[in-house]
Amino acid sequence: MHKSIDNLNLIKENLKLKVKDYDKIKIIAVSKTFPSEKIMPLIEYGHLDFGENKVQEAIDKWSDIKLNFPKIKLHLIGKLQTNKVKFAVKIFDYIHSVDSEKLAKKIADEEIKINKKIKIFIQVNIGNEQQKSGINKSQLQDFYLFCKKLNLNIVGLMCIPPIDQDTISFFKEMQTLTNDLKLNELSMGMSSDYIEAARYSSTFLRIGSGIFGQRG
């Protein structure tokens, strides 16, 4: 069996042992920078959720694969520029990084043009870091209402906590924000902290190196 499949199954076993309601959690295999030959064993094994950071890379890599495997769900987990929105709406099923009114409006316009609804996460800058994308938590309620007025399908929140601090406090805060908005999904947790994220109600874990190994 391919190493990536072994790694995926180890992660699932770990969740099963350590997390209540583990069966509600989806694992996004973050395939950014990995070539299709590294990804195909997981696809053929039946894994359905994959994540990419860049729109053009996703188009190049996934256009043909998605035609052959139509059940695959592709997640954009990186920053989305407004000039790439029309391409992103076509190829992706989920966008995890919506964080501005301009971007939200552009997505809504493109959805109408091609008659497709994307599942959307609002990215929250949970650590108030200047260099990071994401909506400030003090503006979250207003931004959520703005997105709903655009008829966007907001399914949950997403965050990337500060790497040099204890992530648990941020996961706990994200859990509260998600519950306050009565949303069902929460995108947080990566290879190094997915168990802690899952314990605080993450429903989508974004795992790259933990499945595919270190990037070259």
**Residues 15, 43: Cα–Cα separation, whole Å:** 21
Token pair, residue 28, equals 């996004």
| pLDDT tens profile 128-168 | 988 889 999 999 999 999 999 999 999 999 999 998 888 99
- 138-150: b (≥16 Cβ within 10 Å) or e: eebeebbeebeee
**Residues 111, 136: Cα–Cα separation, whole Å:** 25
pLDDT value of position 191: 94
Question: CATH classification of 3-212, choosing from 3.40.190.10, 3.30.470.10, 3.20.20.10, 3.30.70.260?
Answer: 3.20.20.10
DSSP 2-18: -HHHHHHHHHHHHHHHH
CB 63, CB 91: distance < 8 Å: yes
Q: What is the pTM of this model?
A: 0.96
Domain ranges of the chain: 3-212
pLDDT value of position 22: 93
pLDDT over threshold 90, residue 185: yes
